[in-house]
């Protein structure tokens, strides 16, 4: 069923009552105490990096501590569930990644409602995944790789960081869209997936850009395309998948900021404005760029529309490929 984007990630009825309160009742002194930022994964990953940049920046800009709390497990579901149950008062915010919109289709059940549990604040930043091959693979373009795979059905395999991860779903979109006979080999991390391709065990890899950048620069991996509509500042010489002639396969990894449903609109608007100010700072842009990220900081409505589109897109891929959470 197609989602109504105007309802996706919108506040519950309780927000109407909150919005009717005087502005001073909930925003004049905000934040009056530390604000928790829940990251639903262990420390050290891309979302954690973005969350720590946000926490430091908002602490400096708003004069109160914003701190990161890592609540990992179940592919991000545990942290998302805890954030969804938090008070809608602006003192808990949630750092979402593609798993947030993927998991409701991938898992039998999740501890949140993807349409009702959160209000969108902003899409903070995006980073493309990258299609790489071992240097022994006789392909220097995406088109040549497709020709190779079609000439040897079942011979080629691709690595991903694990079942249901964005790179895996992108690999399946690649396979389904082009009707290719290529085998998925899941690993337990992006580093392990890249390692398998570096060793030549799994000749093709779809993965996040940050773990692959240095290997591409060193010539240990050949990047055929970034799975985006435009090139990246991190690897400006590598074409986008759209440039390569396959715009329908474009996708990226993203970090978004959400708040429990019913959070006063004045607070989500304030947070969005502060994030936009933060993302415009040259040092923040540089820190993000070093990990392959590019700032976005769009409006709550634009963020909600993106979440709705991603939910539909990846849900279709999961169903067509018959993917189940492992």
Q: Considering the chain, what percentage of its residues have pLDDT values greater than 70?
A: 91
Q: How many domains does the chain have?
A: 2
Nearest to 239 by CA among 125, 128, 98, 126: 128
Dist CA 86 CA 234 (whole Å): 37
- Confidence class of residue 12 from pLDDT cuts 50, 70 and 90? very low
What confidence tens digit (pLDDT) does each residue in 213-268 have? 889 999 999 999 999 888 888 889 999 999 999 998 988 889 999 999 999 999 99
Residue 302 belongs to domain spanning:
14-127+253-321
Q: What is the DSSP letter of 240?
A: B
**Can you give the pTM of this predicted structure?**
0.86
Helix (H) or strand (E) holding 211: helix 209-217
Same structural domain for residues 258 and 110? yes
Of 193, 228, 249, the domain-final residue: 249
Residue 222 pairs with which residues in a beta bridge?
A: 133
Same structural domain for residues 110 and 259? yes
pLDDT given at position 232: 85
What confidence tens digit (pLDDT) does each residue in 83-93 have? 999 999 999 99
What confidence tens digit (pLDDT) does each residue in 149-185 have? 999 999 999 999 999 999 999 999 999 999 999 999 9
Residue 64 in domain: yes
Of 249, 279, 305, the domain-final residue: 249
Residue 3 in domain: no
Residue 7 in domain: no
**Of 38-52, 65-79, 116-130, 215-229, the least confident:** 38-52
Average pLDDT estimate for 3-19:
47
Of 249, 274, 304, the domain-final residue: 249
CA angle at residue 236 from 232 to 240, to 5 degrees? 60
Same structural domain for residues 201 and 178? yes
Same structural domain for residues 309 and 262? yes
Same structural domain for residues 209 and 278? no
Same structural domain for residues 157 and 54? no
Q: What is the mean pLDDT of the chain?
A: 90
- Confidence class of residue 289 from pLDDT cuts 50, 70 and 90? confident
Same structural domain for residues 123 and 133? no
Query: Which pairing describes strands 252-260 and 92-96: parallel, antiparallel, or unpaired?
Result: antiparallel
């Amino acid at each position: 069923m197609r989602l109504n984007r105007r309802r996706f990630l919108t506040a519950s009825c309780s927000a109407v009552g909150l919005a009717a309160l005087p502005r001073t009742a909930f925003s004049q002194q905000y934040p009056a105490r530390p604000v928790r930022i829940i990251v639903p994964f262990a420390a050290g990953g891309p979302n954690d990096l973005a969350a720590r940049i946000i926490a430091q920046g908002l602490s400096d800009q708003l004069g109160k501590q914003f701190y990161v709390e890592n609540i990992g497990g179940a592919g991000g579901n545990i942290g998302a569930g805890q954030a969804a149950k938090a008070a809608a008062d602006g003192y808990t915010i949630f750092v979402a990644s593609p798993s947030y919109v993927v998991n409701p289709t991938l898992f039998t059940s999740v501890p949140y409602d993807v349409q009702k549990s959160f209000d969108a604040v902003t899409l903070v930043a995006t980073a493309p995944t990258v299609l790489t091959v071992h240097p022994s693979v006789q392909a220097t373009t995406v088109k040549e790789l497709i020709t190779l795979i079609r000439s040897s059905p079942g011979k080629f395999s691709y690595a991903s960081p694990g079942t249901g991860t964005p790179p895996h779903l992108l690999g399946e979109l690649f396979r389904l869209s082009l009707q290719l006979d290529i085998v998925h080999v899941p690993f337990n991390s992006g580093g392990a997936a890249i390692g398998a391709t570096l060793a030549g065990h799994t000749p093709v890899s779809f993965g996040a850009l940050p773990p692959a950048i240095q290997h591409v620069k060193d010539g240990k991996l050949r990047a055929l395309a970034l799975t985006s509509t435009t090139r990246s500042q991190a690897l400006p010489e590598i074409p986008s998948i759209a440039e390569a002639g396959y715009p329908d396969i474009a996708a990226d990894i993203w970090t978004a900021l959400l708040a429990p449903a019913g959070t006063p609109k004045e607070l989500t608007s304030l947070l969005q404005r502060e994030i936009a100010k933060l993302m415009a700072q040259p040092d923040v842009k540089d820190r993000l760029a070093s990990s392959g990220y590019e700032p976005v900081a769009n409006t709550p409505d634009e963020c909600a529309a993106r979440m709705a589109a991603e939910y539909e897109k990846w849900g279709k891929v999961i169903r067509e490929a018959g993917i189940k959470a492992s």
